[in-house]
Amino acid sequence: MTNRLIKAFGIAIGYMIVSLATASSPAKHPIPPITKPYAMDKADNVATIDFWVEKGEIDTRRRLMVALDFPQTEKGAVEDAIQQQNLPIEVQVFLEEGKRRLPVPTEDNDTILATAYGTAVKADHPIAHMHLYATDGKTSNVLIAGFRATRDGHYVAIVRTTQDQPIFKDIKTMLRVDEFYNTGE
């Protein structure tokens, strides 16, 4: 009886050690959702976000997105500007394959809607127009562009401001690569 108890106790401790080691080890590669601080107020600010799409972690049938999040502004001044103006931003996504970067088509909200309604539109234009998706009373969420990562691998999203956007001065903005906003899928 004592040998069984010692053996069972040893097995249980072994499982606990393996579980703790697995839980505390860092992820092999960054997978979405990934956020990165990004200043939107000046032209030519560039951010690069490296991420991986791995089987079991990301559903390659679903669209991913590059988004912008920021604290909801007083009286919604920035949110109103996004809704009332075409605020352009450049976004490109690539699949890295060895030393080659393969472009991944991107679509801003206007392109997605035009495609859905059968209007001829050129997809994969690097200039996207920001679309205010939602606010929750604390954070405003803006869609920059969606894309489909159709296979596993290392991806890179590159975002660049194309013009000065003084409405974003002193606003702490964050870029985010994540699953696309509620698509009903």
pLDDT over threshold 80, residue 103: yes
The neighbouring-strand residues paired with 132 are 142
For the chain, list the domains and their CATH numbers: 29-179 (2.60.120)
| 8 Cβ contact partners less than 8 Å away, ≥ 6 residues apart | none
pLDDT class of 123 with cuts at 50, 70, 90: low
Separation of alpha carbons 101 and 154, rounded Å: 10
* pLDDT exceeds 90 at position 143: yes
Q: Give the pair of three-digit tokens for residue 83.
A: 């809704």
106 and 128 in contact (C-beta within 8 Å)?
A: yes
- Mean of per-residue pLDDT scores for the chain: 84
pLDDT tens-digit profile of 69-82?
999 998 888 999 99
pLDDT above 90 covers a percentage of the chain that reads 52
pLDDT bracket for residue 121 (50, 70, 90): low
Question: Buried b vs exposed e over 28-63: b needs ≥16 C-beta within 10 Å?
Answer: eeeebeeeeebebeeeebebebebbbeeeebeeeeb
32-58 pLDDT tens trace: 999 999 999 999 999 999 999 988 887
Q: What is the pLDDT of residue 6?
A: 55
- 110 burial (CB, 10 Å; 0-12 / 13-18 / 19+) is middle
pLDDT at 22 exceeding the cut of 50 = no
**Cβ pair 40, 144 in contact under 8 A:** no
Residues 6+ apart with CB under 8 A from 4: none
152 contacts 90 by C-beta, under 8 angstroms: no
Q: How many CB atoms lie within 10 A of CB 138?
A: 7
Local confidence band at 13 (pLDDT 50, 70, 90 cut-offs): low
* Mean per-residue pLDDT, 17-42: 73
Specify the DSSP element, H or E, that contains 65.
Answer: strand 64-71
Average pLDDT over residues 168-181: 94
> How many helices (H) and strands (E) in the chain?
3, 11
pLDDT of residue 138: 94
pLDDT score of 4 more than 90: no
